[in-house]
Chain A
Amino acid sequence: MSKQTDQGRRDFLSRAATAAAATTVAPGVFLHSVADAAPRAEPVTSKVRWGMLIDTTKCADGCTACVEACDVENGLDLIGKPEGASDAEWERQRPRWIREVKLKDNLTDRITTMPMLCQHCEFPPCVDVCPTGASFRRADGLVLVDRHTCIGCRYCMMACPYKARSFIHENVLLKSTAVPRGKGCVESCTFCVHRLDQGETTTACQDACSKDGHQAIIFGDLKDPNSAVSQAMSKYPTVEVRADLKLNTGVRYTGL
């Protein structure tokens, strides 16, 4: 009788211990395996260089699909005009990662429409001047801002030849979990790094441009000769904006 009771207690204890171990250890093991499975756990390498080709002949005048898609993707549309700010001043102070510009050739009057964004230079002036190293270039060619070490001095904005960077002038009440931001830091186009790190291979602006049927933006790995962007770049003559600075930009234009 007593032996049976002991056996029952022993079983109970051993099952309880197993259950306790499972509940404490399993989530860690599970998360670990999830993390292992996701591509973002692997360090980025310089075997990839993300880049973009913009065909200005396909970019439609008056279309702002890429700008709107960027605003939604990166939560820029969540930043509201602060109460009391004038509309005109707010337009100058709001952050913009991509913008439409329309150019007229001084000699021929030819009109070109195209988006301007961070050009993800190989030798970025913003990275050179950043006192804390918060502006940095990732091995795969993305020029990013570490918003933990950005002190908000805006020297990178003074140095960027493309006016690609924005400073957050206002309190941030709403933000996307994929693109955190805070008042007083500088930011710019990340080539949708949160997508790339999850294994995706397109940017929001490219998707929007394609969806609207323009196909003016091709994005991909410049080091992969078979990627769409490399194929297109080998076919058409491309230019860098401010090629004189020899920054080897990751964004190239055709028809400019």
Chain B
Amino acid sequence: MKKIHFREWGIESPRYWGMLAVLAAVVAIAGFATLYMEHEGHWVTGMNNQIVWGIPHVFAIFLIVAASGALNVASIGSVFGKKVFKPLAPLSGLLAMTLLIGGLLVLVLDLGQPARLIVAMTTYNFKSIFAWNIYLYVGFLAIVAVYLFTMMERKAMGYTRSVGTFAFVWRLALTTGTGSIFGFLVARQGYDAAIMAPMFIIMSFAYGLAIYLLVLMFTFKTDGRELGDKLIARLKNLLGVFVAAVLYFTVVYHLTNLYGTENHAYEAFILRDGGIYTTLFWGGWILAGCLIPMGIIYHPALGKSRGALVAACSLVILGGFAAIYVIVIGGQAFPMAMFPDKTIIASGFYDGVNGDPLSYSPSLPEFLLGIGGIAVALLATLVAVRVLRFLPESLADDVADPHAAAKGA
């Protein structure tokens, strides 16, 4: 097996700085949007006392979930001993960190009192999964940083497997914690389901890998580095399995709900009568997020095309946003079942009169804050691959996996 060398991302300076400038501009706009929201208060957002979590939470949760999933490629290499994945690991660890930072920034900047972050870091209620998540998220950043160090520093390489295993277990706990934010909410019909935690884990596998693949293909193509077809085929098939698993968990979640009469109204809302939420469920979560990508991945001709793979990854990401939107906003828009055998026919404070959903129309500043989180993640990634050796010089099949290449030839 040839030795694999890592090298900084070497695209021409003007192009590189141009990309950074665009991303920095997006971050700056998001910064102004955030200052505006903080200064005026949340009334300038579409969030209200009926729908309390909005677009910022959709972006934040998506990024946090994707972050833990992005680490999977590294885990497969060092925990499950698949040699071919090892050169892919540094970028995987890097994306896990940058996506998490982007997501956390969005989450924190949407707080009613963001300046009190220090309170959140020093005063804990350990019955709250949120409090645990603070440890899980910060701990994840630290552990992945050490994990990256063991990958990139020759003297520490002996520890890669043990640190990688620890990081893998930690990331499972992290996504369980994120899924449990909803799983533990007994009050609302759409949540309060133990399946939320494993479903979030499998979603993280798919979203994280889709983002990873896009970043890998982009950085390699722009820098003229070779990316072997066999390697891409392996990653692509892995994505297909993850997306199928997301579909499976989605089906089980809704079938379980459909069995119990108490959940029929909620299921009718999401699956049939929920307007935007129904559209996003079928068109976004199921069709764009699962069925079309699977069709592309397993199509005999399309499955071999890089362009089609880019489309599949992009659709998985869009479907992911739709899924999180349906879970976070749809779950709140459906009125709470306070009086199970009665219909609320009038209310002084929007209780879902006659079963009407609660209304939420996201505002521009909210979107800008969310997009800013993505821009921060990408900006940090592009800076890191430029200054440190995260990317292998070549991932041609005879370099990355000579054994497979020889067998195929």
Give me the interface of A with B, judged by CB distance under 8 Å. 64, 67, 82, 85, 89-96, 99-107, 111-112, 116, 125, 127-133, 149-155, 157-163, 165-171, 183-186, 241-242, 245
Contact = CB atoms under 8 A, between A and B. Distances in A.
A247 to B, nearest CB: 9
Nearest to A90: B43
Contact of B49 (A112, A129, A149, A167): A167
Contact of B40 (A82, A152, A163, A166): A82
Given A101-B344, A128-B128, A167-B112, A158 B52 contact: yes
A132 B125 contact: yes
Contact of B338 (A127, A157, A161, A166): A161
Nearest to B51: A92
B185 A159 contact: yes
Contacts of B112: 150-154, 167-168, 183-186
Contacts of A125: 185-187
B344 A103 contact: yes
Contacts of B50: 92, 163
Interface in B321-369: 332, 336, 338-339, 341-351, 359
B119 interface: yes
Contact of A131 (B120, B187, B346, B348): B120
5 contacts: A103-B343, A111-B345, A125-B186, A129-B130, A154-B52
Contacts of A150: 112-113, 116
Contact of A149 (B123, B130, B181): B123
Interface in B119-133: 119-120, 123-125, 127-131, 133
Interface of B: 40-43, 46-50, 52-53, 111-114, 116-117, 119-120, 123-125, 127-131, 133-134, 181, 184-188, 332, 336, 338-339, 341-351, 359
Say whether chain B's binding surface is mostly helix, strand, loop, or mixed. loop
B42 A131 contact: no
Given A128-B127, A151-B112, A183-B112, A101 B52 contact: no
B336 to A, nearest CB: 6
A158 B182 CA distance: 9
Contact of B341 (A85, A106, A155, A160): A106
Instruction: Please give me the 3 A-B residue pairs with the lowest Cβ-Cβ distance, nearest first.
Output: A152-B112, A184-B112, A131-B130
Given A103-B342, A104-B345, A151-B120, A93 B42 contact: yes
A150 B123 CA distance: 10
Contacts of A107: 341
B116 A151 contact: yes
A159 B187 contact: yes
A127 B130 CA distance: 12
Contacts of A129: 127-130, 184-185
Given A93-B42, A104-B343, A171-B40, A130 B128 contact: yes
A185 B53 CA distance: 14
A91 B339 CA distance: 23
A132 B119 contact: yes
Contact of A92 (B41, B119, B185, B350): B350
A7 B197 CA distance: 88
B347 A102 contact: yes
Contacts of B127: 127-129
Nearest to B42: A169
Nearest to A136: B125
A17 to B, nearest CB: 47
Contacts of B41: 82, 168-171, 183-184
